[in-house]
Each structure stands twice: as C-alpha cells, then as structure tokens.
C-alpha cells in the first residue's frame, strides 16, 4: 500500500514539474477546459436560478388554484381556429359560480388588459401592468402591504375609483411622500390610492413578484368604460378550493355548471378551459428540464473541444519526452509510474481549468445578481458537477497518451533522442 502511495506521490510531483516547465502550453490547454466548464456550469446555474425564481413567484399561490378562461395554459387537441371562437368568461358567470359552487374558499374575477400610464402631478410612470380584479383577489394571491389596504367588497362591486399600487410605482410617483389618500390619474380619470404592496423584487412570471410594477383596481370600473366584449380586455375566473378537496371532482362540478349556464349541448365539446395551477407548474418544470438538457448538449461541444485539445497536447508531450521516458524505464521506472505521470498531468490540467471556469461563473453570478436584481445561484451540486466533469475529461483525454507512453520500449525511446 505504501509503495502505491509513494508511486502516486512521485507521479504527481513529476506531472506538476512538467506543467511548470511548459507554462505557455499549459495556459493554452487550460483555456479550452475553462471555456467548456464555464459553458456547462453557467447554463446549469442560469436554469437553476430561473427555476428557483419561478417557484418563489408561485409560492404565494395554492397549487390547487383553478383558472377558468377561454385560453389553454398548455398544449390542446382542439384546433386553434375553434379555440379562437370560444366566448370570453363573463362577470355574470363569475357571480353564478361564486353563489353556486361548494367546497371553495374564494372565487375571483380578473381582466387582462393593456398597460397604462400613471400620473401624479408632474411625475409619470409608463407601461404599468394593470390588474382589474374583484375584492377576493387579495386573499387568493396572499398579498402583503407596506401600507394601506386592498379595496373591499362594496368598492369592488360599485367599481369605485380606488387603486392599490406596487412598491416601485409608489417610489417613482411619490418619492418620499406618503401615497395613501393621494389621487393619481389613470384612464384619464382620478383614482384614490388606498394601498401600497410590499416589495417583492422582479418576477419571472405574471404571478406574485410582478406586484411591484402593477396597479390593482376594481374590475367593475373597467366593465363600465369598456363593456364585456371589448377586444382590449380578456377575462379569467380564479377559484381557490378548500383544503383536502378532490380537485378532479371540483373541476367536473365547475365544468358541468358552466356548460349548463352556457347551454352547451350534450356531445359538444367544452367552449372553455378549466386549468389547475399544478398542471401549469408541471408544464413549466418540463420546459425548464428541456432547456437544461438543450443547454448542456450545446455546452458539451465546447467541452469536447477542450478535451480534444488536452489529448492533443498530451500526445505532443509524450513525443517530446520520449527520450526521457526511455531513460526512466532503463533506470527501473515501472509502466505504472509512466502511466500515472501522464495521466495526472492531464487530470491536473483539467481540474485547474475547471476551477478557473467555476470561479468565472461564481464572479458572474455575483455581478449579474447586483446589476439585474435577479438572484443567480451557483449551487454546491453544480460545483461538484464541475469538478467531476473536469476529472472525467482529464481521465479520458489523458488515458490514451498515458498508455502509449507506458508501453514505449526503453531502448527505442532512448535511441529516438539521438
């Protein structure tokens, strides 16, 4: 055992000495591996960060939340031309479902509409995400407020001109002033600010984190100025079920009630979609997995180039040191010593290249997190993957040159130096 440890130690020392004596070649070899490791780990870190952010944005919502719309969350077997003919969900359908459904905590109505400009005195914020909803939205979304409140049932039903604005909107319009009670101009009319949402940070989704740059107002105000069939708005009914409820059973109940309300004939397909948030998150997980796999496959090409570069350099190194290998063998060096000497040289090159690549990724995650206000994360598992891949590439790149060096005939090797 001690003999093998000594053999490994001497082989390692010999490999390090060879790398130090060929600094330029070592640096060029490191570059290929560094780029390969950087590419793969950067892709993994970016996808993992995106995945974590999406899950954080959706964490405020119950995964069993049901969305009733005329659009599908995911792929559908129904042709596009037929889906385009589906009627929008209506406020009357929201009222009907709210009064007739059992085993639900809240039912909310929401419009999706065009962004607007908000004004307060001389200050203006453009392209603000407008969220016209009914009063139940705050409980379904689990909204948090830094000050003020959400509009109540009476204000929601009457379409009163009150508004809740996001943290970033409040900062841009009011600065150090207290926005509560102030009036801002939206849709050419005055709205009273009654609440400010708690800062969440940038969002990758339209859920949750987008509150910072959104304005919430009663949906009935928009119904009053646009009507129910205006092309500028589309509607959605959000249903939050009670805990421990069979979701499939509830979906069936919703489907049957809405078919009856709309007068859909037996045998005809549903002209609406009942989607569960968990299905949407599963779809996102699938998309993220495909993006991760695609990114890794693309990055592997640069990694392979680095591996081939290491192998090429090692063959050159064997050629240059053929005479030295012959002398070592004539003095009693075993084939294992020669093998390990070149194998360690390739592995050390790749590991150093991997470390540099990981350091670059780590630096970029810190830089981009501060610049973009999006938290990029380099996980410990990704670091282990980087080290593991470096060692594997070093082993694969160095094994053939190392074997060829260990099998050299000592006499022929010494003769080649003359």
> What is the tens place of the pLDDT at every residue in 140-183?
888 889 999 999 999 999 999 999 999 999 999 988 889 999 99
> What is the tens place of the pLDDT at every residue in 220-267?
998 888 877 777 788 999 998 888 788 888 888 888 988 988 888 888
What pLDDT band is residue 4 in, cutting at 50, 70 and 90? low
HEC profile of the chain: CHHHHHHHHHHHHHHHHHHHHCHHHHHHHHHHHHHHHHHHHHHHHHHHHHHHHHHHHHCCCCCCCEEEECCCCCCCCCCHHHHCCCCCCCHHHHHHHHHHCCCEEEEEEEEEECCEEEEECCEEEEEEEEEEECCCHHHHHCCCEEEECCCCHHHHHHCCCEEEECHHHHHHHHCCCCCCCCEEEECCEEEEEEEEECCCCCCCCCCCHHHHHEEEEEHHHHHHHHCCCCCCEEEEEEEEECCCCCHHHHHHHHHHHHHHHHCCCCCCCCCCEEEEHHHHHHHHHHHHHHHHHHHHHHHHHHHHHHHHHHHHHHHHHHHHCHHHHHHHHHCCCCHHHHHHHHHHHHHHHHHHHHHHHHHHHHHHHHHHHHHHCCCCCCCHHHHHHHHHHHHHHHHHHHHHHHHHHHCCCHHHHHHCCC
CB 241 within 8 A of CB 253: no
Is the pLDDT confidence value at 403 over 50?
A: yes
Domain ranges for the chain, please list them. 2-57+287-415, 87-271
Distance CA 42, CA 30 (A): 17
Name the range with the highest mean pLDDT among 37-41, 70-74, 78-82, 222-226: 222-226
Is the pLDDT confidence value at 209 over 60?
A: no
Is the pLDDT confidence value at 207 over 50?
A: no
CB 328 within 8 A of CB 409: no
Least confident of 86-90, 152-156, 315-319, 359-363: 315-319
Is the pLDDT confidence value at 288 over 80?
A: no
Structure tokens given for 109: 């109505």
Global pTM reads 0.64
More confident residue, 83 or 195: 195
Is the pLDDT confidence value at 296 over 60?
A: yes
Mean pLDDT of 5-27: 66
In the chain, % of residues over pLDDT 90 = 20
CB 203 within 8 A of CB 374: no
Q: How many residues does the chain have?
A: 418
Phi, psi dihedrals of residue 266, rounded to the nearest 5°: -65, 130
Site of tokens 């180039």: 305
Q: Residue 78: what pLDDT? A: 80
Distance CA 393, CA 351 (A): 9
Rounded to the nearest integer, the mean pLDDT of the chain is 81
> Among candidates 116, 121, 97, which has minimal Cα distance to 217?
116
Q: Residue 87: what pLDDT? A: 87
Q: Residue 203: what pLDDT? A: 53
What pLDDT band is residue 208 in, cutting at 50, 70 and 90? very low
């Amino acid at each position: 055992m001690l003999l093998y440890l000594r053999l490994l130690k001497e082989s390692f020392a010999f490999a390090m000495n060879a790398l130090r004596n060929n600094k330029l070649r070592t640096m060029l070899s490191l570059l290929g591996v560094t780029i390969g490791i950087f590419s793969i780990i950067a892709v993994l870190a970016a996808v993992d960060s995106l995945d974590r952010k999406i899950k954080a944005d959706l964490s405020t919502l119950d995964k069993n939340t049901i969305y009733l719309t005329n659009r599908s969350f995911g792929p559908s077997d129904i042709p596009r031309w037929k889906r385009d003919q589906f009627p929008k969900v209506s406020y009357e359908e929201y009222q009907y479902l709210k009064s007739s459904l059992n085993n639900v905590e809240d039912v909310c109505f929401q419009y999706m509409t065009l962004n607007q400009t908000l004004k307060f005195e001389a200050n203006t914020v453009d392209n603000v995400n407008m969220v016209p909803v009914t009063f139940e939205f705050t409980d379904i979304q689990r909204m948090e407020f830094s000050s003020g409140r959400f509009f109540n049932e009476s204000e929601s039903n009457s379409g009163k001109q009150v508004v809740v604005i996001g943290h970033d909107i409040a900062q841009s319009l009011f600065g150090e002033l207290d926005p509560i009670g102030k009036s801002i101009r939206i849709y050419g009319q005055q709205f009273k600010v009654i609440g400010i949402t708690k800062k969440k940070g940038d969002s990758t989704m339209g859920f949750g984190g987008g509150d910072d740059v959104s304005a919430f107002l009663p949906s009935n105000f928009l119904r009053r100025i646009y009507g129910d069939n205006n092309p500028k708005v589309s509607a959605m009914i959000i249903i939050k079920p009670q805990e421990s409820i069979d979701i499939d059973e509830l979906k069936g109940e919703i489907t049957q009630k809405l078919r009856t309300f709309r007068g859909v004939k037996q045998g005809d397909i549903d002209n609406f979609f009942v989607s569960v948030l968990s299905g949407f998150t599963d779809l996102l997980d699938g998309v993220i997995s495909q993006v991760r796999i695609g990114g890794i496959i693309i990055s592997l090409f640069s990694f392979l180039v680095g591996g081939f570069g290491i192998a090429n350099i090692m063959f050159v190194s064997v050629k240059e040191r053929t005479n030295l290998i012959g002398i070592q063998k004539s003095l009693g060096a075993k084939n294992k010593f020669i093998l390990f000497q070149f194998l360690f040289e390739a592995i050390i090159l790749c590991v150093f290249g991997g470390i540099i690549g990981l350091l670059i990724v780590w630096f970029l995650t810190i830089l981009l997190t501060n610049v973009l206000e999006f938290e990029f994360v380099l996980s410990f598992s990704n670091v282990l993957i980087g080290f593991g891949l470096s060692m594997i590439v070093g082993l694969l790149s160095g094994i053939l040159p190392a074997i060829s060096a260990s099998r050299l005939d000592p006499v022929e090797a010494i003769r080649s130096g003359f």
